[in-house]
Amino acid sequence: MTRMTGRLSGKVALITGGGTGIGRAIAVLFAREGARVAVVGRRKDKLNEVVKAISENGGDALAVACDVTLGADAERSVRETEQRFGALHTLLNNAGALSNATVEGLSEEDWDHVMRVNVKGPFLMSRAALPAMRRAGGGSIINIGSILGLVAMKSRAAYCASKGGVTMLTKAMALDHAHENIRVNCICPSLVETEMVKSLFPDTPEGRAIRDARLAGIPLGRMGKPADVAELAVYLASEESSWLTGVAIPLDGGLSAY
């Protein structure tokens, strides 16, 4: 651990969807870089595993059970973070839901679920976090969007719409809160090797063929790793990016360069 000399030394971060995948990788790296971390999500057992891993390496972490689609839960998670650590400097909105369907293949319930998690969640968490960031003298909100919030693909109607919403929510909040020294940016990954993404490619000849076809469209020739996202998130949470706000950064192996 480099808690005294890390790039995030002295920072307090709240990370939604922090129990698995990208959220877990970010929480662990933030702690390694010196931040005190609240990991937030619905599955307390997974959150506790992350807290244990951080604590065993000398870090300081808190697990908070929370449904990001509920305003009361969002406010409570921020309140518990401030009570434990004394401040909040970084909010990382990572919790998300996938959807693979055209408009005709979507039920109202499916549409509403994707919008609640992917758009309403960041809205509620950001609204809850803003007063705490003002008390801290400023902060950084980092939204995990998607390359599909910048470009589209087939059979992702609700997902593209939701992540496009995250992109524009990022820009709007950046303008609204720049005068308060609160920066808002968005990371837009393409395929990242998480359990959720792996479920898209079953271990069958057809699943492997679909995976290979998707990889063929990525110039760097591989999926991203949770660590790739975590490294960029550290930069956006640190003072190194103090003059950067309102951007949606493609983190896609070159996919959107075509």
For the chain, percent of residues with pLDDT exceeding 70: 98
Q: Which residues are paired to 249 by β-bridges?
A: 187
Q: How many domains does the structure of the chain reveal?
A: 1
CATH of the domain at 134: 3.40.50.720
Question: pLDDT by residue (tens digit) across 91-137?
Answer: 999 999 999 999 999 999 999 999 999 999 999 999 999 999 999 99
In this prediction, residues 128-147 reach a mean pLDDT of: 98
Cβ atoms within 10 A of the Cβ of 7, count?
18
Specify the higher pLDDT residue, 160 or 258: 160
Residue 141 located in a structural domain: yes
Residue 169 located in a structural domain: yes
Range of the domain at 102: 12-191+225-253
Confidence of residue 197 (pLDDT cuts 50, 70, 90): confident
Residue 196 located in a structural domain: no
Cβ atoms within 10 A of the Cβ of 2, count?
12
Starting from the edge strand earliest in sequence, which strands make up the sheet with 36-41, in order? Answer: 61-65, 36-41, 12-16, 90-93, 139-144, 182-189, 248-251
Question: pLDDT by residue (tens digit) across 34-91?
Answer: 999 999 999 999 999 999 999 999 999 999 999 999 999 999 999 999 999 999 999 9
In a 10 Å sphere around its CB, with 0-12 CB exposed, 13-18 middle and 19+ buried, how is residue 227 labelled?
middle
Question: Does residue 14 contact residue 31 with C-beta atoms inside 8 Å?
Answer: no
Residue 5 located in a structural domain: no
Residues known to be catalytic: 159
Residue 7 located in a structural domain: no
Residue 214 located in a structural domain: no
Residue 203 located in a structural domain: no
Residue 208 located in a structural domain: no
